[in-house]
Amino acid sequence: MQYPEWIWQNGVIKRWAEATTHVMAHVVHYGSSVFEGIRCYQTPSGPVIFRLTDHNKRLYASAKIYDMAIPYSLEQINAACREVLKANDNTTDYLRPVAYRGLGGFGLSADTPTDVAVATWKMGQYLGASVLDQGIDACVSSWQRFAPNTLPAGAKAGGNYLSGQLVAREARRLGFGEGIALASTGLLSEGAGENLFLVFDGALHTTPVSAALLNGITRNTIITLAREAGIEVIERDLPREYLYLCDELFMCGTAAEITPIRSVDGRQVGSGKPGAVTRQIQELFFGLFDGKTPDKYGWLEPV
Ligand code: PMP
User: 3-state secondary structure string, 69-111?
Assistant: CCCCCHHHHHHHHHHHHHHCCCCCCEEEEEEEECCCCCCCCCC
Q: Is 90 exceeded by the pLDDT of residue 212?
A: yes
Q: Whose CA is nearest to atom 13 of ligand 1?
A: 216
* pLDDT for res 1: 80
Cα of 280 from ligand 1 centre, angstroms: 21
Q: Examine the domain organization and report whether 164 and 77 are in the same domain.
A: no
Calpha distance 267→177 (Å, rounded): 14
Q: Examine the domain organization and report whether 111 and 137 are in the same domain.
A: no
Q: Examine the domain organization and report whether 115 and 209 are in the same domain.
A: no
Q: Which of 121, 149, 165 is the last residue of a domain?
A: 121
Q: What is the CATH number of the domain that holds 45?
A: 3.30.470.10
Calpha distance 27→36 (Å, rounded): 16
Q: Examine the domain organization and report whether 104 and 148 are in the same domain.
A: no
Nearest-CA neighbor of 253 among 142, 161, 126?
126
Q: Which of 87, 103, 121 is the last residue of a domain?
A: 121
Q: What is the CATH number of the domain that holds 247?
A: 3.20.10.10
Q: Measured between alpha carbons, how far apart are the two ends of the chain, in Å?
A: 24
pLDDT digits (tens, 9 = 90+) for 25-35: 999 999 999 99
Residue 296 lies in a domain: no
pLDDT digits (tens, 9 = 90+) for 220-254: 999 999 999 999 999 999 999 999 999 999 999 99
Q: Is 80 exceeded by the pLDDT of residue 125?
A: yes
**Domain count across the chain:** 2
Q: Whose CA is nearest to atom 6 of ligand 1?
A: 193
Q: Examine the domain organization and report whether 251 and 115 are in the same domain.
A: no
Q: Examine the domain organization and report whether 155 and 276 are in the same domain.
A: yes
Over the chain, what is the mean pLDDT?
97
Calpha distance 249→245 (Å, rounded): 10
Calpha distance 15→17 (Å, rounded): 6
Cα of 277 from ligand 1 centre, angstroms: 21
Calpha distance 288→64 (Å, rounded): 31
Q: Is 90 exceeded by the pLDDT of residue 126?
A: no
Q: Examine the domain organization and report whether 146 and 210 are in the same domain.
A: yes
Q: Examine the domain organization and report whether 267 and 169 are in the same domain.
A: yes
Residue 302 lies in a domain: no
Residue 265 lies in a domain: yes
Q: Examine the domain organization and report whether 217 and 173 are in the same domain.
A: yes
Q: Whose CA is nearest to atom 11 of ligand 1?
A: 253
pLDDT digits (tens, 9 = 90+) for 243-282: 999 999 999 999 999 999 999 999 999 999 999 999 999 9
Q: Examine the domain organization and report whether 142 and 67 are in the same domain.
A: no
Residue 114 lies in a domain: yes
Cα of 105 from ligand 1 centre, angstroms: 31
β-bridge partners, 21 = none
* pLDDT for res 294: 97
One DSSP character per residue, 33-66 reads EEE--EEEEEETTEEEEETHHHHHHHHHHHHHHT
pLDDT digits (tens, 9 = 90+) for 58-105: 999 999 999 999 999 999 999 999 999 999 999 999 999 999 999 999
Q: In sequence order, which residues have a C-beta less than 8 Å from that of residue 193 and are 6 or more positions away? A: 161, 164, 168, 253, 255, 256
Residue 298 lies in a domain: no
Residue 95 lies in a domain: yes
Q: How far is CA 179 from CA 89, 123, 144, 170, 214, in A?
A: 35, 20, 11, 7, 15
Ligand 1 atom closest to residue 55's alpha carbon, by position in its atom list: 15
Q: Examine the domain organization and report whether 116 and 154 are in the same domain.
A: no
Q: Are strands 46-50 and 300-302 parallel, antiparallel or unpaired?
A: antiparallel
Range of the domain at 67: 6-121
Provide the Cα torsion 10, 298, 128, 209; round to 10°.
Answer: 80
- 128: confidence class by pLDDT, cuts 50, 70, 90: confident
Q: Examine the domain organization and report whether 41 and 144 are in the same domain.
A: no
As a whole number, mean pLDDT of residues 31-58 equals: 97
Residue 199 lies in a domain: yes
Phi, psi of 226 (to 5 degrees): -65, -45
Residue 135 lies in a domain: yes
